[in-house]
Amino acid sequence: MLPSLTWPVLPVHHHLVGVLAVSIFFHSCNSPSSQTTSTAGGPAATTDSTQTAGPVAPANSPLQIVAQFREPQMVGVAVLPDGRVFADFPRWDNNPVMPIAEVAPDGSIKPYPDANWCTWNETLRNEPHKHWICPQSVYADNTGMLWVVDPASPGLRATVPGGPKLVKIDPKTDKVTQTISFPESVAPRKSYLNDVRVDTQNQYAYLTDSGLGSLVVVDLRTGRGRRVLSGHASMLADTTLNIKADGKELIDPSGNKARINADGIALSQDRQYLYWKPLTSYNLYRIKTEALRNPVLTDAQLASQIEDLGKVPACDGMEIDAQNNLYLTAFEDHSIKRRTPAGKIETMVQDPRLEWPDTFAFSGDGKTLYVTTSAIHKTPTWNKGIGKQDQPYYIFKMALQ
């Protein structure tokens, strides 16, 4: 779900974060930036002269457009049981006016939970816990609460002190009800908290850190987080691979290949297993959540309980359904794939409009799958400083069979 980065083996995520390349092409996070939207019915205009006509839908595509945005870049989506939709626009190459936004049925957006939370500039440095600095993920739990992960690393450079946080919002009141700020011992300066899953039964949250390669386990009752398995092989990018998108390797301005650590994450419906994988890797892993919740276990003891589930496509986002089918945003071939409990990989849809499919969300009844496109491979970081985006960023939905 994440972006276009690459520090020494860090991340992109999604989410895309992990080994993301720190780019000289990031704009200042304090300069104003417009947020151009379009309705679900028509394309947004563009002013980028390098853009061409984007990919078109195959005649038989099951994807339906929920909303589309020309700029700024979008990565995340969340859908509440009542159908309300939320989107996430991180402060990477742009400085979005609405980094977290509610998406109306007509495709228009409004700042969420309000304009004050969406404002970030130098004058607010003394209250980083009250504003979206660089939100990376928005997630709806099974009780209808909304959660936002803010790694607080604008431009993917380094965290803002006091900024990394996990925030809970009650959509019934549109008010923040819990803010868990992470100290540097949990979210170091080069970390990039990427995605989250929330276990409402046991009151725990699990996050990936794609910047340094780690999981963060949060006791929601106490608000305390723990870094676990930091730097473990299952958390790190596979440096032997040459991951591609549109048939082209991801190379940053310094000539470095994308190396993105732990990114995608999924929690089984029975809350017994947590799944994850580094973005630039073909390996999938899982562990029993009971082990993660045990603060007495050392990293070595946890590592002994990790299960290597074998090869899957490179992907950004993951989600799991009630039948334990694992969905994967397979960006290398513009597709959504599904891994069955038996380990079989199935292609759910392949559509050229899936320009770096990023993040998933289920409808309340679990019968509809939502997915975003973030076109990470077309951002300046991976194209010698020149943006190659040629279509809107989409939120799609498709019926599950």
Domain coordinates of the chain in residue numbers? 11-399
HEC string of 161-218 equals CCCCEEEEEECCCCEEEEEEECCCCCCCCCCCEEEEEEECCCCEEEEEECCCCEEEEE
The strand ranges marked E within 72-187 are: 76-79, 85-88, 100-103, 109-111, 137-140, 146-150, 165-170, 175-181
Q: Which helix (H) or strand (E) holds 300?
A: helix 299-303
Query: What distance in Å separates the CA atoms of residue 379 and residue 34, rounded to the nearest whole number?
Result: 17
Sorting pLDDT into bands at 50, 70 and 90, what band is 37? low
| Residue 1, pLDDT above cutoff 80 | no
Count Cβ atoms within 10 A of the Cβ of residue 47 and give its class: 0-12 exposed, 13-18 middle, 19 or more buried: exposed
The 10s digit of each residue's pLDDT in 22-32 is 332 233 343 33
Number of CB atoms found within 10 A of residue 38's CB:
18
What pLDDT was estimated at residue 83?
Answer: 97
The 10s digit of each residue's pLDDT in 306-349 is 999 999 999 999 999 999 999 999 999 999 999 999 999 999 99
| Residue 286, pLDDT above cutoff 70 | yes
Q: Which residues contact 131 (CB under 8 A, 6 or more apart)?
A: 116, 117, 118, 119, 120, 124
| Residue 121, pLDDT above cutoff 90 | yes
What pLDDT was estimated at residue 15?
Answer: 40
Query: What distance in Å separates the CA atoms of residue 122 and residue 213, rounded to the nearest whole number?
Result: 29
**How distant, in Å, are the alpha carbons of 18, 142, 290, 393 from that of 323?**
30, 16, 21, 30
CATH architecture, domain 11-399: 6 Propeller (2.120)
Sorting pLDDT into bands at 50, 70 and 90, what band is 50? very low
What pLDDT was estimated at residue 93?
Answer: 87
Q: Which amino acid is at 286?
A: R
Query: What distance in Å separates the CA atoms of residue 76 and residue 356, rounded to the nearest whole number?
Result: 12
Peptide bond just before 72 cis, omega within 30 deg: yes
| Residue 295, pLDDT above cutoff 70 | yes
- Tokens for 115, please give them: 């304009």
Averaged confidence pLDDT in the chain: 89
| Residue 34, pLDDT above cutoff 90 | no
What pLDDT was estimated at residue 189?
Answer: 97
| Residue 140, pLDDT above cutoff 80 | yes
| Residue 207, pLDDT above cutoff 70 | yes
For 178: left if phi > 0, alpha if psi spans -120 to 50, otherwise beta; the answer is beta
What pLDDT was estimated at residue 68?
Answer: 96
Helices (H) and strands (E) in the chain, counts: 2, 29
For 25: left if phi > 0, alpha if psi spans -120 to 50, otherwise beta; the answer is alpha
